[in-house]
């Protein structure tokens, strides 16, 4: 019996010492809402994770296809229990589960993407994708001949509406006659429905298809019809080599490595971060061969202005669909207004309901 106790103690101490050794290595966990192979949203986050993995003394792991809700809490809790130092949860619906776990583990740094809640040890972050969408709008406005641009969109929430507005403003900045027609699919990822939605836009004369959807369904529709398309999340040109003008893409690596470094140095504080083109978090994918040099130059000029801060996307006068002025002349809309945007700018055809 005594022998057994000794053995037990020995194994326990061995276990503890390995646990200590492991502490020197930083552990960073990621929670994704979809499979990383989706060529889309989670794929983009995972490229960021790989950059973190490449840092010295850091190991990472991830759990993919985690449904929003109770399952998410279990996954995040599990990571926190296993001694992860930093946990990134990358979907809106992880907000409350993460907040709950964050309260139980005050020493762990929690970061939530696309939400609005924070605590002592939980920050939130997202990217100013609307800046990249403005640039892609310029491309669409220049390339459209029918002046009808189709936009397949998931849900009428501020994030998506803001993107559509920025895209439309971009298109109209170079082509005042351009209108953007919106079709809601009410799904983030359903290739069949998204493709059908794109076809319905092609039927009404659209010759450029943009999307705020995670599947390449709309790209396929544009390729088959022989018109142009603009991808989202990551470079989607492999799905539509002849149609794909460019894509608005996420590039999380600089932000993720910065946060992990800050946590390691003890300088990290929970905050609400909203980086954009200037920080390199959002960008355009390489232009397709069909985009003329002058269009590329025009886009790059505006891109440089946005990065330098000389240009802002939402500066008045900006009118809504009814023609009423929503952002007064010369006024730059504050972030709070952008985050709560629920109206379409003039030139968008569609409803926000």
Partner 1 sequence: MTTEIIISLLAAAVQSGTPILYATLGEIFTEKSGVLNLGVEGAMILGALAGFMVAKFTGSPVIGFLAAGVVGSFATSIHGVVCLWFQGNQVVSGLALTILGAGLANYLGTAYVGLSAPGFNPLALPVLSEIPVLGKIFFQQDLLVYFSYCIPFLMWLFFAKTRYGLSLRAVGEYPAAATAAGLNVLLYRWVGILVGGFFMGLGGAYLSLAYTHLWTTNLTGGRGWIAVALVIFAFWRPGRAVFGAYLFGGVMALQLRLQASGTQLPSSLLLMLPYALTVLVLVLSSWKKGSSDEPGALGVNIEPVD
Chain residues in the site for partner 1 (CB under 8 A) = 34-35, 37-40, 43, 64-65, 150, 156, 181-187, 189-193, 195-197, 199-201, 203-204, 206, 215-217, 220, 224, 238-239, 349-351, 353
211: closest CA among 198, 200, 228? 198
- Nearest approach in angstroms of CB 181 to partner 1 is 6
Helix segments in 54-118, DSSP class H: 70-81, 95-104
Q: How far is the CB of 280 from partner 1 (least distance, A)?
A: 24
CB of 35 to partner 1, least distance (A): 5
CA 337 to chain centre: 19
CB of residue 39 vs partner 1: minimum separation in angstroms? 4
CB of 3 to partner 1, least distance (A): 45
When the beta carbons of 118 and 172 are compared against partner 1, the nearer one is: 172
Beta-carbon neighbour count of residue 19 at 10 Å?
Answer: 10
CB of 239 to partner 1, least distance (A): 6
138-176: b or e for each residue (b if 16 or more CB lie within 10 Å)?
A: bbbbbbbeebbbbbbbbebeebbbbbbbbbbbbbbbbbe
- Specify the residue, 183 or 338, whose C-beta has the smaller distance to partner 1: 183
- Based on CB atoms, which residue is closest to partner 1, 65 or 342? 65
Instruction: Decide whether 248 or 352 has the Cβ nearer to partner 1.
Output: 352
Report residue 282: phi and psi, to 5°: -115, 155
Residue placing its CB nearer to partner 1 in the complex, 85 or 220? 220
CB of 184 to partner 1, least distance (A): 4
Contact between 307 and 298 (Cβ < 8 Å)? no
Rounded distance, CA 30 to CA 59, Å? 11
CB-nearer residue toward partner 1: 124 or 172: 172
Buried b (16+ CB within 10 A) or exposed e, 328-341: eeeeebeeeebeeb
Residue 333, token pair as written in the block: 């809309």
Report strand pairing: 244-250 vs 228-233.
parallel
CB-based contact 111:123 (threshold 8 Å): yes
The CA distance from 101 to 73, in Å, is: 7
The smaller minimum CB distance to partner 1, of residues 35 and 275, is found at: 35
Three-state SS at 32: coil
């Amino acid at each position: 019996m005594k022998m057994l106790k000794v053995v037990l103690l020995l194994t326990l101490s061995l276990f503890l010492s390995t646990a200590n050794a492991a502490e020197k290595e930083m552990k960073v966990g990621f929670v994704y809402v979809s499979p990383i192979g989706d060529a889309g949203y989670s794929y983009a986050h995972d490229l960021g994770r790989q950059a973190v993995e490449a840092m010295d003394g850091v190991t990472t792991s991830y759990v993919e296809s985690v449904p929003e809700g109770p399952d998410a809490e279990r996954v995040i809790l599990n990571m926190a229990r296993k001694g992860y130092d930093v946990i990134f949860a990358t979907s809106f619906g992880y907000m409350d589960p993460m907040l709950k776990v964050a309260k139980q583990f005050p020493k762990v740094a929690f970061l939530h993407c696309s939400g609005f809640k924070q605590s002592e040890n939980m920050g939130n972050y997202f990217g100013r994708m609307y800046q990249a969408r403005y640039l892609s709008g310029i491309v669409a406005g220049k390339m459209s001949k029918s002046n009808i641009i189709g936009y397949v969109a998931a849900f009428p929430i501020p994030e998506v509406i803001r993107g559509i507005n920025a895209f439309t403003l971009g298109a109209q900045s170079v082509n005042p006659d351009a209108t953007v027609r919106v079709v809601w699919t009410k799904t983030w990822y359903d290739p069949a429905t998204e493709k059908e939605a794109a076809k319905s836009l092609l039927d009404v004369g659209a010759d450029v298809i943009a999307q705020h959807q995670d599947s390449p369904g709309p790209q396929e529709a544009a390729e088959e019809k022989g018109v142009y398309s603009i991808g989202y999340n990551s470079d989607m040109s492999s799905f539509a080599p002849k149609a794909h003008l460019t894509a608005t893409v996420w590039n999380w690596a600089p932000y993720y490595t910065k946060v992990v470094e800050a946590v390691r140095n003890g300088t990290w504080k929970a905050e609400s971060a909203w980086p954009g083109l200037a920080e390199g978090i959002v960008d355009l994918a390489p232009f397709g061969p069909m985009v003329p040099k002058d269009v590329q130059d025009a886009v790059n000029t505006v891109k440089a202005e946005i990065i330098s801060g000389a240009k802002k996307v939402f500066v008045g006068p900006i009118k809504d669909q009814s023609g009423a002025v929503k952002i007064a002349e010369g006024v730059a809309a504050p972030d709070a207004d952008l985050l709560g945007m629920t109206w379409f700018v003039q030139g968008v055809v569609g409803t926000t309901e």
